[in-house]
Amino acid sequence: MSTEGKSFFRQLEERIASSASLLCVGLDPRVARVEGAARKILEENRRLIEATAEYTACYKPNIAFYEAHGAEGIEALEETLSIVPKEIPVILDAKRGDIGATAEAYANLVFDRLDAGAVTLSPYMGKSSAEPFLNYPGRGFFFLCRTSNPGADRLQELRVGSSGGDPLFIKIADEVSGWSADAGIVVAGNDPASLAAVRRRFPEIWILAPGIGAQGGSVEEAVAAGLARSGSRLLPVVARGVSGAKDPAAAARKFRDDINRAREKVLKNGVGSKAPVRARDYRKEEIFQGLVDTGCFRLGSFTLKSGIVSPFYLDLRRISSSPRLMRQVARAYASILPDRKDQKIQRLAGIPVAALPFSTAISLETDIPMVYPRMNAKDHGTGNTVEGGFVPGERVVLVDDLITTGKSKIEAADILRKEGLLVEDLVVLLERGRQGRKDMEQKGIRLHAYAQAEELFQYLLDRGIIGEEKHAELVAFIAD
């Protein structure tokens, strides 16, 4: 709530300075819908506020937990807001997003009746859905951008524009940042890659970052990715991690202290100064982490088909066991598909066996039909050497998981070409070394790799998964 004519963000800045905290505590009472629920809500919130006020920059009640109890719930929310110390601002998590009289009614509830200092809004219906809220000067507006729920990437990471364009959540941030000088955005605290992408785009915008604690977000990673150069402008949100703790005061104090330690580390490393921040590819980092989490990348001693002993092993077949990672990988492939104006892609051709799941996922993502070559001649039935419908002369893009040498790729291309298909391009997720590229060029096939093995190794080093010595060993091995 605004006090003494102060704007929400001015009050927030003063509170951050006086409390030495960026912590936003969620007030989300999970009370059964029974008689006396409103009283229990108020008791629970009073206990939580009294325990955590010393360590809290702001509070964020989610209106759904109050609306579920009808009129009594809204009254409990009003009473809750009245017991929040006046120096502590409140963000009402309402996620409103409608137009006309409906939006005006929502704005009246949020700012006239409840007198919240700020609100979360959904920008999907455009600026007109936000204007009734924007008409309240001095209030704060946090627009949903990249949310913390697991399925959000299906929409929020859709690429806008031509291949390789910005994801939708970046475009949303571009749009809403111009709607008001008091606009902030919501970016998932459990998605540090997206946080980093938004922060690079908007060095000083306020970011509300839910998803810390119970939803898996790491304080250190969120702060490293989302902190502004000023050392502020980021509000990590913790709800169940505090309210569900045996000692909420101790939990809030620990989160505050962890956030401050992470702030100090970031500022010490120069991010809070004018030092340049190394550009990062948020999607690529998520995929790299997925390769680690699913066991696709392993360290050890592995004898390869060639007889060479490798200090690491990549088994990208394991990606199939993670639907989320497979979706991300399909979009990564889609972003590098060669689609020249003079020659459209007419078929995808996955190389058996490893690439068949990938080509299927890419086909579903892009609506480009697929075929696949039989690497061993079929001695029964139709005797097909290429499975799936096609017409000789069509342009086909080969799909494989990774490339070290071009041997199997060339075999697949030869089979397709014998059936009259035009094969000029190969797409892979990872390129390991440079021999494969040379092999493909000799056969008149352009290689398009989403990532280099060296990039994966650098990511592992940056995240502390491997040390400097192991990093040097891996890089030297693929360079041989």
Alpha-carbon separation of residue 30 from 64, 244, 440 (angstroms): 10, 10, 60
* CB 86 within 8 Å of CB 14: no
Helix/strand/coil for 423: strand
Query: Which member of 6, 40, 95, 284 is catalytic?
Result: 95
> Quick count: other Cβ atoms within 10 Å of Cβ 418?
11
How far apart, in whole angstroms, are the C-alpha atoms of residue 349 and residue 394?
12
Element containing residue 268 per DSSP (H, E): helix 248-268
Cα separation of the two ends of the chain: 63
Is 95 tagged catalytic?
Answer: yes
CA–CA separation, 266 and 270 (whole Å): 7
Question: Distance (Å, rounded) from C-alpha 158 to C-alpha 328?
Answer: 10
Query: What phi, psi does 270 have (nearest 5°)?
Result: 100, -5
Using alpha carbons only, give the angle 47, 52, 54 rounded to the nearest 5 degrees: 130
Pairing of strands 347-350, 370-373: parallel
CA 248 vs. chain centroid, Å, equals 29
Alpha-carbon dihedral 126, 128, 132, 137, rounded to 10 degrees: 80
> Among all residues, which ones are annotated catalytic?
95
